[in-house]
Copies of this chain bind each other. A is one copy, B any other.
Amino acid sequence: MAIEIERKFLVRDAGWREAVSRSTRMVQGYLVAEPGLTLRVRIAGERALLTLKGASRGIARAEYEYPVPLADAEAMLRDLACTALVEKVRHLVPVADRVWEVDEFAGANAGLVLAELELEDERAAFVRPDWLGEEVSDDPRYFNARLARHPYRDW
């Protein structure tokens, strides 16, 4: 079990692209998408993960993540997902001593780009790159489970 502490931002422009160190295509869906529990299946490249998250407490959240066989993940997304699938490319963008995850959404969420930073505690300091926009950590519209049900193109 880990406690996930994550801050999430819009981007102001595409300046982040120059600094991308790696990009991975991801598709994910939710078997459970409740406020108190989400169960996510994610396929990232050739890897698959099953991730369980409890209720959010501020920007912190208990997270349990386990690798699963790719064929299991595909079958779960096909047979058990309770939401549409969310497609995105995750770009890793090093900035100073941290690595941002910039998610460029596709499919029903095309046009949306979110920059996320995992932090060791809620008050941890970090360098704000020029391309960083408004913080949306607390805005439930940007939760991935919400984007599966209410995609960006319908906003």
Contact = CB atoms under 8 A, between A and B. Distances in A.
Interface string A65-84: 01010011001100110100
A95 interface: no
Contacts of A76: 1, 52, 64
Contacts of A52: 31, 39, 50, 76, 80
Contact of A39 (B32, B62, B68, B79): B32
Contacts of A32: 32, 37, 39
A72 B80 contact: no
Contact of A75 (B1, B31, B72, B82): B1
Nearest to A76: B64
A54 interface: yes
Contact of A72 (B1, B39, B71, B72): B1
Interface of A: 1, 31-32, 36-37, 39, 50, 52, 54, 62, 64, 66, 68, 71-72, 75-76, 79-80, 82
Given A1-B71, A32-B32, A54-B79, 14 more contacts: A1-B75, A31-B37, A31-B52, A32-B39, A36-B80, A39-B39, A39-B52, A50-B50, A50-B52, A52-B76, A54-B80, A62-B79, A62-B80, A66-B68
A-B complex: 7 closest residue pairs judged by Cβ atoms: A1-B75, A1-B72, A66-B66, A64-B72, A54-B80, A32-B32, A54-B79
